[in-house]
């Protein structure tokens, strides 16, 4: 009775306080409240969303009390939901080995000698299973055995996902956290699976899995890849180079099932239903049943869920003859999805889908009023979409291509109105009228072949690409403010030429960023974490020079064809190049390769052609091997000057100078022939030693008997063949940095070397323990030191 009384009073209070007509049309305020509250609870820079929540709440309370109160209530609910109701913690406190029973919840992914899938145990927690496959026969057997929806018993070891190793590296642990996955379950094949209790959702996933497999079998590339991407929302098999091209040219959204796909599918079914004699209400009811089915068939990505729920909201409003604007529809969809899972806010597809759609909806009325023919409207909508996605794209991918404004004008209609319908028709014909299939497949294959060739040409000759790097928070705020200002000015402007303003804004921001770089008095020395290898990036103040010493490199291991992975981790591409891009580096003034060992130069192949290298510096004793000649030739054709340097020479960058101390003579080993460089940076003397061994150290001391060092890059990853006691005693370093791989098979750094450094009071920083290590300096002083962990 008390509960009913309380509920009744609460209902009367809300009815009296909030009037529907006061809220309708303003649901986007509530969606914004929820977004900001979740960002503040689970994201970074909490002060920014908190400030926005307070500011918006004050304004709303003054203008419309009921909306302001509801804004605060929604924010409070979102904080509680994100922090306490949504699953944010694992059931397991520590790593453990054991046998786990659960269900496979997504499509198993076979990648070379690795199988991975998401596995949900009865307690509700998800694990990411990684299976290492040792034989081709096992891989073939697993392909037949492991299916979506199966119940499995898996024996393995729980391991925590890796966090990031470098400042701008992909944070795998954080990525999985936002998917409610806290542990990796590693096994070699000790598990059994069977079909038990397949739900309707499992049956739909199984159907999708069969269709994807059949498309891969029956259709040639690139048709099979495009059909799976556009019809079934699966692009795991697409060539990485094409994905990179779509991404760099701002067209990756075309490969995601979203609003355009839903519109075409729903429009086709609605037209067919009405032509067959069904009344409007019955067709809408049928569509409300089919849309959820289509969402699951296409993989239930955030973009397709958003499009599907928005469409269902609009259709439901029509069915019940109620008014629901498109803006209300997207706002309610956003609220519903974030109530279900607040972590969706940190999904890139969710962010891009909602933000771009929101901007297009807000701008649609003034675009319709200002532009009356289809081409200017297409240009305007494309510009709005590019402008809306711009802050997210440069924050996550660091580059933005002005060519995307032009390329999208061709590819959006080409993919949407030509390739997408053709993919659906091919699937329909394959299922029902296979007699016509060869003709349609040839048409699709021809169109994709030529369009892919054009795409790759644009990708490899993308002269309009602007490298922003990952913006700092203050610059990101400036970018967002600029985007909003241009949209507002475009709306109130009477000039149709305002179409050029988004491009002018981006160019202005690019040159602003460059100007900020020239004004920046801080330089940085960053010891990148490249595992068992070396790579050191020196960024001089006021952009007076960018110098890279060594590139790291994965030691090559021979693998059979079936073992090779689609996109294996490459240190040069995924660590060094990614870090340079994130810092907005467009060119290296000098790349110093200390010696020829693969763990120091293996990443060169990933840098060549992807970043301009003005000078490549090697020693007089550096042998260029046959398998490396092609890379050096490519560099020379790209404008790189290859220079051999001798001891006693220096490399100058304005008032800064890197002094080459050795090798002065040919030593007995490649490590002994390492280039050793000293520099005065921030008033401190630095020594970068490559893999110099004890023999090289003694020769160095004989030439420079009074050498004193503040910061030492320890030679050869802390091996006992380097860093002799006499060397440490003479140079007297205050800080030693050891670049070394975690749990490496060589046992580096050697305990004797560690004890020796500690004996002389040297403070030690190791990349395997701290991740990347960065020292910030100005002209005469060091101003900061930070590590990734």
User: Per-residue confidence at 567, pLDDT binned at 50, 70, 90?
Assistant: confident
What dihedral angle (degrees, nearest 10) is formed by the CA atoms of 574, 575, 581, 585? -140
Range list of H helices, 219-347:
223-232, 240-248, 259-275, 280-297, 302-319, 326-340
Compute how many other C-beta atoms are within 10 angstroms of the C-beta atom of residue 597. Answer: 20
Q: What is the pLDDT of residue 364?
A: 83
Q: What is the pLDDT of residue 10?
A: 41
**585-626 pLDDT per residue, tens:** 999 999 999 999 999 999 999 999 889 999 999 998 998 888
The candidate with the shortest Cα–Cα distance to 682, out of 650, 656, 708, 714, is 656
**Higher pLDDT, residue 305 or 7:** 305
DSSP 609: T
Residue with tokens 């092609």: 630
Residue with tokens 């050891």: 738
As a whole number of angstroms, the longest Cα–Cα distance in the chain is 97
What b/e sequence results for 624-655 when a residue is b if at least 16 CB atoms lie within 10 Å of its CB, and e otherwise?
eeeeeeebbeebeeeebebeebebeeebebee
What dihedral angle (degrees, nearest 10) is formed by the CA atoms of 20, 26, 30, 32? 180
Please classify residue 563 by burial: count the beta carbons closer than 10 Å to its beta carbon, then call 0-12 exposed, 13-18 middle and 19+ buried.
middle
d(CA 767, CA 528): 8
What b/e sequence results for 677-701 when a residue is b if at least 16 CB atoms lie within 10 Å of its CB, and e otherwise?
bbbebbebbbbbbbbbbbbbbebbb
The candidate with the shortest Cα–Cα distance to 191, out of 308, 289, 315, 108, is 108
Question: Tokens standing for 132?
Answer: 């290492």
The candidate with the shortest Cα–Cα distance to 213, out of 109, 103, 104, is 109
**302-317 pLDDT per residue, tens:** 989 998 999 888 888 8
Q: What is the pTM of this model?
A: 0.89
pLDDT of 18 higher than 70: no
Lowest mean pLDDT among 133-147, 252-266, 302-316, 725-739: 252-266
Residue with tokens 């609009």: 314
- Pairing between β-strand 151-159 and β-strand 181-187 as defined by DSSP bridges: antiparallel
Range list of H helices, 732-778:
751-759, 767-770
DSSP 555: P
pLDDT of 225 higher than 70: yes
What's the sign of the alpha-carbon dihedral 323, 329, 331, 333? positive
The candidate with the shortest Cα–Cα distance to 129, out of 80, 83, 176, is 176
d(CA 554, CA 550): 13
User: Per-residue confidence at 25, pLDDT binned at 50, 70, 90?
Assistant: low
What b/e sequence results for 412-432 when a residue is b if at least 16 CB atoms lie within 10 Å of its CB, and e otherwise?
beebbeebbebbbebbebbee
User: Per-residue confidence at 11, pLDDT binned at 50, 70, 90?
Assistant: very low
What dihedral angle (degrees, nearest 10) is formed by the CA atoms of 554, 737, 169, 403? -90
| Peptide bond between residue 663 and the one before it cis (omega within 30 degrees of 0) | yes
d(CA 104, CA 138): 19
Q: What is the pLDDT of residue 4?
A: 42
What b/e sequence results for 368-378 when a residue is b if at least 16 CB atoms lie within 10 Å of its CB, and e otherwise?
eebbeeeeeeb
User: Per-residue confidence at 715, pLDDT binned at 50, 70, 90?
Assistant: very high
Q: What is the pLDDT of residue 433?
A: 81
Q: What is the average per-residue pLDDT within 729-745?
A: 93
Please state, for a pLDDT cut of 70, what percent of the chain lies above it: 96
Please classify residue 288 by burial: count the beta carbons closer than 10 Å to its beta carbon, then call 0-12 exposed, 13-18 middle and 19+ buried.
middle
The mean pLDDT of the chain is 88
Lowest mean pLDDT among 113-117, 355-359, 428-432: 428-432
d(CA 326, CA 484): 20
pLDDT of 21 higher than 80: no
Q: What is the pLDDT of residue 264?
A: 80
Q: What is the average per-residue pLDDT within 38-53?
A: 92
pLDDT of 17 higher than 50: no
The candidate with the shortest Cα–Cα distance to 256, out of 268, 245, 269, 243, is 243
**175-193 pLDDT per residue, tens:** 999 999 999 999 987 788 8
Q: What is the pLDDT of residue 16?
A: 39
Q: What is the pLDDT of residue 23?
A: 53
Compute how many other C-beta atoms are within 10 angstroms of the C-beta atom of residue 348. Answer: 16
The DSSP code sequence of 257-288 is --HHHHHHHHHHHHHHHHHTT--HHHHHHHHH
Q: Could you give the residue range(s) of every CATH 3.60.15.10 domain in the chain?
A: 523-787
Question: Tokens standing for 717?
Answer: 């990853």
Contact 109, 117 (CB under 8 A): yes
Q: What is the average per-residue pLDDT within 9-28?
A: 51
CATH label, 523-787, candidates 3.10.180.10, 3.40.640.10, 3.60.15.10, 3.30.1300.10: 3.60.15.10
d(CA 90, CA 530): 30
Task: Tell me the residue length of the chain.
Answer: 789
Residues 6+ apart with CB under 8 A from 189: 131, 133, 134, 138, 142
Which one of 363-372, 458-467, 544-553 scores highest in mean pLDDT? 544-553
Q: What is the pLDDT of residue 517?
A: 87
The DSSP code sequence of 452-479 is HHHHHHHHHT-TTEEE--SPPHHHHHHH
E-assigned strand segments in 624-780: 641-645, 650-653, 656-662, 676-681, 684-688, 711-713, 735-738, 763-766, 773-777
**384-410 pLDDT per residue, tens:** 888 999 999 999 999 998 888 888 888
User: Per-residue confidence at 24, pLDDT binned at 50, 70, 90?
Assistant: low
Residue 229 Cα distances to 268, 308, 424, angstroms: 19, 17, 11
Q: What is the average per-residue pLDDT within 343-362?
A: 91
Q: At what angle do helices 420-432 and 200-218 cross, to 10 degrees?
A: 100
Q: What is the pLDDT of residue 498?
A: 66
Question: Tokens standing for 118?
Answer: 């998401």
d(CA 147, CA 346): 29
Compute how many other C-beta atoms are within 10 angstroms of the C-beta atom of residue 221. Answer: 15
Please state, for a pLDDT cut of 90, what percent of the chain lies above it: 51
Contact 33, 49 (CB under 8 A): no
What's the fold here for domain 97-198? Answer: OB fold (Dihydrolipoamide Acetyltransferase, E2P) (2.40.50)
Q: What is the pLDDT of residue 277?
A: 84
Q: What is the average per-residue pLDDT within 430-451?
A: 87
Q: Could you give the residue range(s) of every CATH 2.40.50.140 domain in the chain?
A: 97-198
Q: What are the φ and ψ backbone dihedral angles of 750, each rounded to 5 degrees?
A: -70, 135
**Higher pLDDT, residue 636 or 88:** 636
Q: What is the pLDDT of residue 279?
A: 87
DSSP 650: E
The candidate with the shortest Cα–Cα distance to 682, out of 493, 538, 476, is 538
Contact 278, 312 (CB under 8 A): no
Q: What is the CA radius of gyration of the chain?
A: 30
């Amino acid at each position: 009775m008390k509960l009913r009384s309380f509920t009744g009073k609460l209902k009367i209070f809300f009815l009296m306080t909030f009037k529907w007509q006061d809220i309708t049309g303003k649901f986007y305020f509530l969606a914004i409240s929820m977004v900001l509250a979740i960002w503040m609870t689970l994201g970074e820079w909490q002060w920014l969303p908190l400030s926005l929540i307070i500011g918006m709440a004050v304004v709303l309370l003054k203008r419309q009390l009921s909306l302001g109160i509801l804004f605060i209530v929604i924010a409070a609910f979102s904080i509680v939901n994100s922090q306490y109701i949504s699953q944010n913690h694992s059931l397991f406190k520590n790593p453990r080995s054991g046998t786990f029973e659960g269900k496979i919840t997504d499509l198993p992914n076979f990648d070379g000698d690795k199988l991975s899938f998401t596995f949900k145990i009865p307690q509700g927690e998800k694990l990411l299973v990684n299976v290492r496959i040792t034989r081709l026969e096992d891989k073939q057997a697993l392909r037949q055995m492991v299916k979506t929806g199966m119940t499995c018993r898996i024996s393995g070891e729980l391991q925590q996902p890796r966090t990031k190793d470098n400042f701008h590296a992909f944070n795998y642990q954080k990525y999985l956290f936002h998917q409610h996955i806290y542990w990796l379950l590693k096994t070699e094949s000790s598990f059994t699976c069977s079909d038990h209790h397949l739900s309707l959702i499992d049956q739909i996933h199984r159907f999708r899995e069969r269709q994807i497999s059949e498309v891969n079998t029956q259709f040639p590339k690139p048709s099979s890849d495009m059909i799976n991407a556009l019809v079934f929302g699966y692009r795991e098999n697409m060539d990485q180079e094409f994905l990179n091209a779509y991404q760099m040219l701002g067209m990756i959204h075309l490969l995601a099932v979203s609003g355009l796909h839903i519109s075409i599918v729903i429009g086709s079914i609605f037209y067919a239903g009405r032509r067959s004699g069904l009344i409007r209400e019955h067709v809408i009811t049928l569509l409300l049943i089919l849309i959820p089915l289509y969402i699951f068939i296409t993989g239930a990505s955030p973009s397709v869920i958003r499009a599907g729920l928005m469409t269902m909201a609009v259709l439901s409003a029509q069915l019940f003859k109620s008014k629901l604007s498109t803006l209300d529809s997207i706002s309610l969809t956003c609220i519903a999805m974030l109530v279900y899972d607040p972590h969706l806010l940190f999904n890139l597809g969710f962010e891009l889908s909602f933000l771009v759609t929101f901007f297009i909806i807000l701008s649609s009325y003034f675009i319709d009023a200002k532009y009356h023919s289809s081409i200017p409207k297409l240009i305007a909508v494309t510009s709005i979409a590019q402008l809306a996605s711009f802050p997210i794209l440069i924050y996550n991918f660091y580059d933005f291509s002005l060519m995307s404004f032009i390329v999208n004008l061709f590819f959006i209609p080409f993919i949407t109105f030509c390739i997408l319908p053709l993919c659906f028709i091919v699937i329909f014909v394959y299922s029902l009228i296979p007699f016509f299939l060869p003709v349609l497949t040839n048409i699709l294959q021809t169109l994709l072949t030529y369009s892919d060739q054009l795409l790759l040409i644009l990708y490899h000759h993308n002269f309009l690409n602007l490298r922003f790097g990952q913006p700092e928070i203050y610059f990101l705020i400036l970018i967002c403010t600029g985007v909003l200002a241009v949209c507002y000015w475009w709306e109130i402007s009477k000039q149709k030429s305002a179409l050029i303003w988004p491009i002018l804004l981006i160019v202005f921001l690019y040159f602003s960023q460059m100007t900020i770089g020239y004004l920046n008095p801080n330089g940085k020395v960053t010891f990148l974490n490249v595992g068992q290898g070396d790579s050191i990036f020196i960024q001089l103040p006021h952009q007076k020079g960018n110098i890279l010493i060594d590139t790291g490199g994965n030691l090559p291991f021979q693998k059979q064809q079936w073992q090779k992975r689609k996109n294996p981790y490459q240190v040069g591409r995924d660590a060094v190049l990614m870090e340079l891009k994130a810092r907005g580096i467009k060119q290296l003034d000098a790349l110093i390769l200390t010696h020829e060992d693969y763990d120091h130069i293996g990443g060169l192949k990933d840098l060549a052609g992807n970043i301009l290298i003005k000078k490549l510096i090697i020693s007089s004793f550096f042998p260029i091997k046959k398998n490396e000649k092609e890379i050096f030739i490519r560099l020379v054709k790209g404008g790189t000057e290859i220079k051999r340097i001798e001891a006693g020479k220096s490399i100058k960058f304005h008032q800064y100078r890197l002094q080459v101390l050795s090798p002065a003579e040919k030593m007995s080993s490649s490590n002994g022939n390492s280039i050793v460089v000293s520099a005065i940076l921030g008033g401190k003397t630095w020594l970068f030693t490559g893999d110099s061994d004890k023999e090289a150290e003694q020769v160095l001391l004989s030439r420079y008997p009074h050498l004193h060092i503040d910061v030492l890059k320890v030679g050869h990853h802390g091996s006992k063949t380097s860093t002799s006691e006499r060397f440490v005693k003479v140079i007297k370093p205050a800080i030693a940095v050891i670049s070394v791989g975690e749990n490496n098979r060589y046992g580096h750094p050697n305990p004797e070397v560690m004890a020796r450094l500690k004996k002389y009071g040297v403070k030690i920083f190791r990349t395997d323990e701290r991740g990347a290590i960065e020292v910030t300096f100005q002209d005469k002083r060091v101003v900061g030191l930070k590590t990734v962990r």
